[in-house]
Amino acid sequence: MATTAMTAAGLYVGLNLLILLVLGVMVMRQRQATKIGVGDGGQEKLILAVRAHANGTEWTPAALIGLVAAAALGAPVIAIHVLGVMLTAGRILHGWGLSGSAGTSPGRMAGTLLTLIVYIVLGAGLAVHALL
């Protein structure tokens, strides 16, 4: 296990980069399978893969910046691990849920909830730290 807050944050940055890579590869595979280079051609599997990847790229970077900022400001290692695990699990669950169905799914709902909790805790924690 990472021994400093910054190495813990680095662990979750690395893991979440790999998640984004997998989601991107899923888009590439669907593009190859459908022979659609730009857009989605109305192909549901491609649409879902694109949205799963796009959602990850929309939500993950800011959370990772928050995680690194918290580590740099001296957050406890355990806090970085708890938030990092929540974010990573949330992003896996959301990507899995969204890539399988356009409708609601347990994975998508759980992933959204975990990601939102991480945003709330990091956003509030960093703002309070800056103000005190």
pLDDT in tens, 38-47: 999 999 999 9
Residues contacting residue 41 through CB under 8 Å, at least 6 positions apart: 34
pTM of this structure: 0.93
Q: What is the mean pLDDT of the chain?
A: 95
Residues contacting residue 90 through CB under 8 Å, at least 6 positions apart: 110, 111, 112, 113, 114, 115, 118
Q: In three state form, how does the secondary structure of the chain look?
A: CCCCHHHHHHHHHHHHHHHHHHHHHHHHHHHHHHCCCCCCCCCHHHHHHHHHHHHHHHHHHHHHHHHHHHHHCCCCHHHHHHHHHHHHHHHHHHHHHHHHCCCCCHHHHHHHHHHHHHHHHHHHHHHHHHHC
| pLDDT digit string, tens, across residues 79-100 | 999 999 999 999 999 999 998 8
- Contact assessment for residue 56 and residue 69, using Cβ atoms and an 8 Å cutoff: no
**pLDDT score at 103:** 84
pLDDT tier, 1 (very low <50, low <70, confident <90, very high otherwise): low
Domain ranges of the chain: 5-131
CATH topology of domain 5-131: Four Helix Bundle (Hemerythrin (Met), subunit A) (1.20.120)
